[in-house]
Structure 1
Amino acid sequence: MADSTRSSITVKAGKAEIMAVIADLEAYPRWANGIRGCAVQESGEDGRASRAKVTFDGGPVSDTVGLAYTWEGDDRVKWELVEAGSVVTGLRGSYTLDDRGASTEVVYELAVDVKIPLPGLLKRQAEKRIVGSALKDLKRHVES
């Protein structure tokens, strides 16, 4: 899993407000397109999820996986696959938040590997669609 897809969006809110939305994993199915379920399995001392099971429907790829999360305050969260699904064999991602005064730049990076052999171009296109949709959904939810 060498390559990843990265994109950003500006959200009219502070880092703490945005990270609170990102950290509320169990609420994702209500606002994040493609996320069908999320169950926190373990939480860290800060109350944020350290492990969770996530079920998603990403068009041609639907699966349930186990993810481990690492939080860096309201600046960044990283996640990585710790329990493969039936299709997804590798996954890592992150949200990085950068304060821009009255708004925040949110950078989303994602890399996914699947059992199904996919040419690199198709894999990157799928990642771009997932990243773009996630950023737009986050912005819409936070700014509403």
Structure 2
Amino acid sequence: MADRTSSSITIRSGKTEIMAVIADLEAYPKWASGIRDLTVQETGDDGRARLARLTFDGGPFSDTVGLRYEWGGDDHVHWELVEQGTVVTGLHGSYTLGEAGGGGEPATEVTYELAVDVRVPMIGMVKRKAEKRIIDSALKGLKRYVEG
């Protein structure tokens, strides 16, 4: 799972506000298309999710997986698969937030990286295109939700 797909977007808000939305995993179905349910199973000392179960509907297939989260304050979050689904066999993802230069109004560059492995054989180019579609949809949904 060395290859990751990545994309970035600038959101007119501060890192703290954006990370608060990202950390509210159970609200993902409101802004992240394809996510049907995200249930926190365990939280860390900071109150943020450590373990969660994700159910998604990815077009031709749906799946439920277990994820472990590691938080770096309001700068980044990383998650990885700890419980395979019927289709998904590997998953690594992250959001990284950085200051975006701008005129007076707070702005943050949000970068989303994702690598997914599935049981079904898939050509690398097709896999990256699917990852890119997931990433772009999530970033646009996050931007609409935060700025809306």
For the aligned pair, the TM-score class normalised by the smaller chain equals over 0.9
Structure-to-structure mapping, 1:63-142, within 5 angstroms? 63-100=63-100, 102-142=106-146
1:61 to partner: Cα distance: 3.4
Partners of 2:47 and 2:99 in 1: how far apart? 23
1:100 to partner: Cα distance: 2.2
- Is contact 2:52–2:68 with CA below 8 Å preserved after alignment? yes
> Which runs of 5 or more structure 2 residues have no equivalent in the other structure?
none
- Is contact 2:31–2:138 with CA below 8 Å preserved after alignment? no
1:30 to partner: Cα distance: 1.5
Partners of 2:118 and 2:81 in 1: how far apart? 12
SS for the counterpart of 1:22 is helix
1:32 to partner: Cα distance: 1.0
Partners of 2:114 and 2:79 in 1: how far apart? 9
Q: Which residue of 2 aligns with 1:50?
A: 50
1:2 to partner: Cα distance: 1.4
> Which runs of 5 or more structure 1 residues have no equivalent in the other structure?
none
Name the aligned partner's letter for residue 49 of structure 1. Answer: A
Stretches of 4+ aligned residues off by more than 6 angstroms: none
| RMSD over aligned Cα atoms | 0.8
Q: Which residue of 1 aligns with 2:20?
A: 20
What is the percentage of aligned positions where both structures have the same residue?
Answer: 69
Name the aligned partner's letter for residue 114 of structure 1. Answer: V
TM, length-normalised to structure 1:
0.98
TM, length-normalised to structure 2:
0.95
SS for the counterpart of 1:33 is coil
Q: Which residue of 2 aligns with 1:2?
A: 2
Partners of 1:7 and 1:61 in 2: how far apart? 24
Name the aligned partner's letter for residue 135 of structure 1. Answer: L
Name the aligned partner's letter for residue 12 of structure 1. Answer: R
Name the aligned partner's letter for residue 124 of structure 1. Answer: R
Name the aligned partner's letter for residue 97 of structure 2. Answer: L
Partners of 1:27 and 1:99 in 2: how far apart? 24
Partners of 2:108 and 2:30 in 1: how far apart? 23
